[in-house]
């Protein structure tokens, strides 16, 4: 962790423990922003999922518990897509949690950067990165924060996925964004 910001996915929860302001921002985004995903369609599945994310962000459960709770509280057999193995492949609960925890954390950081009047963010290398992934190849550099924020919203809230780079770039992405700190 550098300057009270996560340097990779696995530092997000520890960062939120010490950055209560950021935790509140993340919780507000979880409560108010749309979440896309066929596994969350039907009934009150999105609301249940959001409640689980809030418990995770507040430190009341850990990552492993969140994965299990998702698969228990919004089970495959109650989904309109229950017969779709692409929607419910092995580890679907983990992918939902990881993608959305990363999405909301990075969104909160990007909003702070843009609202501060800054235009750039930094994507640090992750100790857990796959060196062959696109995000690993561009890590270690500064990027336009507003562009990354717009891409994140377009993909993960508006369900308009493109091949344009964003953070998180895939469900197991361990990269995060940080403010550029002098």
| Nearest alpha carbon to residue 154 among 114, 101, 103 | 103
Q: What is the pLDDT of residue 182?
A: 64
Q: What is the pLDDT of residue 150?
A: 97
Q: Helices 92-115 and 45-57 sit at what angle, rounded to 10 degrees?
A: 70
Could you report the per-residue pLDDT of 3-61, keeping only the tens digit for each?
799 999 999 999 999 999 999 999 999 999 999 999 999 999 999 999 999 999 999 99
Q: What is the pLDDT of residue 131?
A: 82
Find the mean pLDDT for residues 131-139: 84
pLDDT at 157 over 70: yes
More confident position, 171 or 152: 152
| Nearest alpha carbon to residue 144 among 164, 170, 171, 173 | 164
Q: What is the pTM of this model?
A: 0.95
């Amino acid at each position: 962790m550098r300057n009270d910001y996560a340097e990779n996915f696995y530092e997000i929860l520890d960062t939120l423990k010490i950055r209560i302001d950021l935790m509140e921002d993340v919780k507000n985004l979880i409560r108010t922003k749309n979440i896309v995903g066929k596994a969350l369609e039907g009934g009150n599945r999105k609301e249940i999922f959001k409640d689980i994310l809030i418990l995770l962000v507040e430190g009341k459960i850990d990552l492993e518990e969140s994965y299990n709770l998702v698969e228990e509280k919004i089970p495959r057999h109650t989904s309109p897509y229950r017969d779709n193995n692409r929607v419910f492949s092995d580890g679907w609960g983990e992918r939902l949690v990881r993608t959305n925890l990363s999405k909301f954390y990075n969104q909160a950081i990007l909003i702070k950067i843009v609202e501060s009047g800054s235009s750039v963010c930094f994507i640090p290398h992750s100790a857990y990165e796959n060196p062959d992934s696109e995000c690993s190849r561009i890590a270690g550099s500064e990027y336009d924060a507003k562009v990354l924020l717009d891409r994140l919203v377009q993909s993960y809230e508006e369900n308009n996925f493109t091949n344009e780079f964003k953070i998180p770039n895939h469900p197991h992405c361990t990269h995060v964004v940080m403010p550029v700190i002098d």
